[in-house]
Amino acid sequence: MNDLTPDRDDRTAKLKGIGCARKRVEDARFTQGKGNYVDDIKMPGMLFGDFVRSPYAHARVKSIDTSAAMALDGVVAVLTAKDLEPLGLHWMPTLAGDKQMVLADGKVLFQGQEVAFVVARDRYVAADAVELVDVEYEELPVITDPFEALNSDTVLREDLAPGADGAHGPRRHPNHIFLWEQGDKSTTEEVIASADVVAEEMIYYHRTHPCPLETCGCVASMDKVNGKLTLYGTFQAPHVVRTVASLLSGIDEHNIRVVSPDIGGGFGNKVGVYPGYVCSIVATIVTGLPVKWVEDRMENLMATAFARDYWMKGKIAATKEGKITGLWCHVTADHGAFDACADPTKFPAGFFHICTGSYDIPVAYVGVDGVYTNKAPGGVAYRCSFRVTEAAYFIERMIEILAIELGMDAAELRRINFIRADQFPYHSALGWEYDSGDYHTAWDKALEAVDYAGLRAEQAERIEAFKRGETRKLIGIGLTHFTEIVGAGPVKNCDILGMGMFDSCEIRIHPTGSAIARLGTISQGQGHATTFAQILATEIGIPADKITVEEGDTDTAPYGLGTYGSRSTPVAGAATALAGRKIRAKAQMIAAYLLEVHDDDVEFDIDRFAVKGAPERFKTMAEIAYAAYHQAIPGVEPGLEAVSYYDPPNMTYPFGAYICVMEIDVDTGETQIRQFYALDDCGTRINPMVIEGQVHGGLTEALAIAMGQEIAYDEMGNVKTGTLMDFFIPTAWETPHYTTDHTETPSPHHPIGAKGVGESPNVGGVPAFSNAVHDALRPFGLRQSHMPHDHWRIWRAAHDLGL
């Protein structure tokens, strides 16, 4: 008979499992400067790569003279497309089924494009040699406007046969990439034609950039003795990089090891394969020495994957009472020089068709035209699921504009159109099955928390005072209710380059009752080592503090599709719970043997298996683990390990209600965020403190995007915002105070009911900030203005309204 102290609450608390605000285990090393990032990796004899990049956005490359660079002491090689061509590596496939030049092959198509790769013994010598490479260019007409691209005689992609289909079907112009459609076009158009009220608007979500603090980079090292290529890099999907590297190089996949060490933020920027990786691999194979390539800030902003750049034309129809009857949308999507969007293969516009948002809209249509221009390629999910932030911005702006048309309060308009709790699982007009939600409860909680009626009264008083000339500051109340869609797979619908989007977890329990879990995902700051251990603690009854979580080494971790689009918790988190349950099933057999009862007569209880009806007779998980390795148990293999590969049956649909209260000075365009309330529902909450951190970070990135961050081009295709002097990164000074809150509506299909959360604040935050700006100026006639709402643009809008 065992001692029953400590009690069940003490035992649960000791585990630090699901629901515990456990401190992040990663932070001890990060806060002491003990992280290990790509640029920290140093290897004997290591060489350094640097790119010659195009100063022009569109030009023919007449000649490249590398002789002066090669003559510089310390330079080992200068690679051009001609050197890569015999290897078939001068072009590479993109994630979107297009192909992209690794090094300029005959022409350049955007400013900053990679033209030649210098390899030198010293990083500074490499930079000096870049200046000595003499490239002769012949300038060509530049197109930076996607609408102009579709009407221009200038053909950007001369490598593509003009009339040939693209990866996503027919192309109607040489600069056209695809038309992708979803929904019922004719019925939607009929509904709009006969509606009581129709709001129509062009909503532009400007081009921006994830701009992680650590730029992209890698160290490639070919061991010619054992034939093994090791690639360290800033990879959000290390296994995918291994497979792609094998397919491109012809090296057997078991001879490639990809390692993602600590990563200083990814936000989608580190999903794709960049020319720097390919050139570093070629250079290490040729020289037999390790080669490091780390881009600088300007290269990162100018040439690696951008985000957004969606021109969204919308029409939303409603009855006079405000019931929405239909939604129509056409997007002109500027993909830049190559279609390198990071979307699942079947979805060239990602999950944009979540654009019916939180609303019960009976009929809808979406068409997306992808277009080539002379801008950098990309189209990544910058802290959002694929194109979901564009969708949320679109519908949340359209709702505000419809409210203007109807002369109705925008909070009430949302309320009467929300999908009701009893409608879940809800089938949207554009083909999704929303898993769970309770939007009315969340909305009412949010409105009450900020005293919405009081705020509107204060706003009305302020408008009167403004009209009387007593103040020059207006108040805006930015409302948003968003629905995210995160957790790609399922495998049958979602793949990257043909690789199905499952994820995985492998667990080994050590004999003394501690454990290691390895996953196919990779944290870039999200705290996986903290939170995945918590899932396991609850599932297998071993304290989280005794569980090591390891990710990012393809030689040890099970195959997984990586971390982006908030897929870690919905997919790898589920794999972790299910691998834990496999451990538990075996532990049950061992416990029953040790307790000399039938398997069915023991039950799991927090950290042990106990005999049913006799809780004082139990074996702790530590005792069971010891027995698994040291005791012969008839019919049971020694050891305690499990692996689970999880193919999710559906995605998860987190949601939230955000309210931003902003003051705007019409004379300076300055803004002050007085209050920001963020209610998130991500289903079961694993770690409330980590969730709060994710929300704070995501909201600050949303603030950046809505209020200042932009990759802007001039008409020559020059990047005007290629440094952090011009590209807005908020510091603590600009960051407002956030009030966070939650409701908890578990996902019915996820093993622990959890949905993703990391990206929700970006998806919901951008429209909340933008709607606040619009709401402040709406009483004076503002209907729609383009982001980012920097001081100049706000001043300009106020000035144009005669304020």
C-alpha 88: how far from chain center:
31
Q: Per rule CB under 6 A, is residue 686 in the interface with ligand CDP?
A: yes
C-alpha 752: how far from chain center:
22
Smallest gap from Cβ 487 to ligand CDP, in A, equals 8
> How many residues comprise the chain?
803
* 112 versus 212: smaller Cβ distance to ligand CDP: 212
The token pair at 622 is: 């530590």
Buried b (16+ CB within 10 A) or exposed e, 673-689: bebbbbbbbbbbbbbeb
Rg (CA), the chain: 28
Which residues are CB-neighbours of 781 under 8 A, at least 6 positions away? 801
Size of the site for ligand CDP (CB under 6 A): 23
Q: Which of residues 118, 691, 705, 773 is near ligand CDP by CB under 6 A?
A: 691
Q: Per rule CB under 6 A, is residue 683 in the interface with ligand CDP?
A: yes
Q: Which of residues 567, 586, 608, 749 is near ligand CDP by CB under 6 A?
A: 567
C-alpha 422: how far from chain center:
30
Site stretch for ligand CDP (CB under 6 A), options 287-295, 328-336, 730-738, 753-761 = 753-761
Q: Per rule CB under 6 A, is residue 648 in the interface with ligand CDP?
A: no
The token pair at 259 is: 């390692």
* 114 versus 759: smaller Cβ distance to ligand CDP: 759
Smallest gap from Cβ 402 to ligand CDP, in A, equals 31
* 541 versus 746: smaller Cβ distance to ligand CDP: 746
Smallest gap from Cβ 688 to ligand CDP, in A, equals 7
* 687 versus 721: smaller Cβ distance to ligand CDP: 687
Q: Which of residues 183, 758, 764, 765 is near ligand CDP by CB under 6 A?
A: 758
The DSSP-derived string for 769-794 is HHHHHHHHHGGGT----PSP--HHHH
Which residues are CB-neighbours of 743 under 8 A, at least 6 positions away? 438, 441, 442, 445, 679, 681
Q: Which of residues 230, 280, 373, 531 is near ligand CDP by CB under 6 A?
A: 531
* 240 versus 402: smaller Cβ distance to ligand CDP: 240
Cα separation, 216 vs 511, whole angstroms = 40
Q: Which of 53, 383, 518, 685 is catalytic?
A: 383
Q: Per rule CB under 6 A, is residue 562 in the interface with ligand CDP?
A: no
Smallest gap from Cβ 687 to ligand CDP, in A, equals 4
The DSSP-derived string for 509-562 is E-TTS-EEEEES---SSS-HHHHHHHHHHHHH---GGGEEEEESBTTTSPP---
* 74 versus 693: smaller Cβ distance to ligand CDP: 693
Site stretch for ligand CDP (CB under 6 A), options 102-110, 398-406, 679-687, 710-718 = 679-687
Q: Per rule CB under 6 A, is residue 526 in the interface with ligand CDP?
A: yes
Q: Which of residues 215, 687, 762, 770 is near ligand CDP by CB under 6 A?
A: 687
* 100 versus 385: smaller Cβ distance to ligand CDP: 385
Whether the Cβ atoms of residue 661 and residue 675 lie closer than 8 Å to each other: yes
Cα separation, 459 vs 357, whole angstroms = 27
Residues 694-723 that bind ligand CDP (CB under 6 A): 694
Site stretch for ligand CDP (CB under 6 A), options 150-158, 272-280, 356-364, 564-572 = 564-572
Q: φ and ψ at 466, to 5 degrees?
A: -60, -45
Q: In what order do the strands lie in the sheet with 47-53?
A: 75-79, 114-120, 47-53, 291-294, 217-223, 228-233, 256-259
The binding track of 568-607 with respect to ligand CDP, each residue x by CB under 6 A or -, is: xx--------------------------------------
Smallest gap from Cβ 550 to ligand CDP, in A, equals 15
Smallest gap from Cβ 516 to ligand CDP, in A, equals 18
Of 227, 289, 218, whose CA–CA distance to 256 is shortest?
Answer: 227
Annotated catalytic, 759?
yes
Pairing of strands 602-604, 547-551: unpaired
Q: Per rule CB under 6 A, is residue 494 in the interface with ligand CDP?
A: no
Give how far Cα 309 sits from Cα of 151, 334, 653, 695, 704, Å: 19, 6, 24, 24, 16
Give how far Cα 354 sits from Cα of 184, 326, 485, 746, Å: 15, 14, 7, 20
Q: Which of residues 231, 591, 690, 787 is near ligand CDP by CB under 6 A?
A: 690
Smallest gap from Cβ 698 to ligand CDP, in A, equals 10
CB neighbours of residue 613 within 10 Å: 8
* 502 versus 609: smaller Cβ distance to ligand CDP: 502
User: What does the H/E/C string look like for 619-650?
Assistant: EEHHHHHHHHHHCCCCCCCCCCEEEEEECCCC
Q: Which of residues 251, 757, 766, 776 is near ligand CDP by CB under 6 A?
A: 757
C-alpha 797: how far from chain center:
32
Q: Which of residues 398, 406, 754, 777 is near ligand CDP by CB under 6 A?
A: 754
Smallest gap from Cβ 243 to ligand CDP, in A, equals 20
Smallest gap from Cβ 530 to ligand CDP, in A, equals 7
Cα separation, 218 vs 294, whole angstroms = 6
Q: Per rule CB under 6 A, is residue 527 in the interface with ligand CDP?
A: yes
Of 649, 554, 98, whose CA–CA distance to 342 is shortest?
Answer: 98
* 4 versus 28: smaller Cβ distance to ligand CDP: 28
Q: Which of 462, 551, 759, 778 is catalytic?
A: 759
Q: Which of residues 66, 389, 554, 566 is near ligand CDP by CB under 6 A?
A: 566
Smallest gap from Cβ 583 to ligand CDP, in A, equals 19
Angle between helices 410-417 and 439-450 (to 10 degrees): 160
Q: Which of 20, 211, 218, 384 is catalytic?
A: 384
Smallest gap from Cβ 685 to ligand CDP, in A, equals 5
Cα separation, 495 vs 498, whole angstroms = 5
Q: Which of 111, 113, 182, 236 is catalytic?
A: 236
Which residues are catalytic, by number? 236, 383-384, 759
Summarize as ranges the residues that interact with ligand CDP (CB under 6 A): 526-528, 531, 563, 566-569, 682-687, 690-691, 694, 754-758
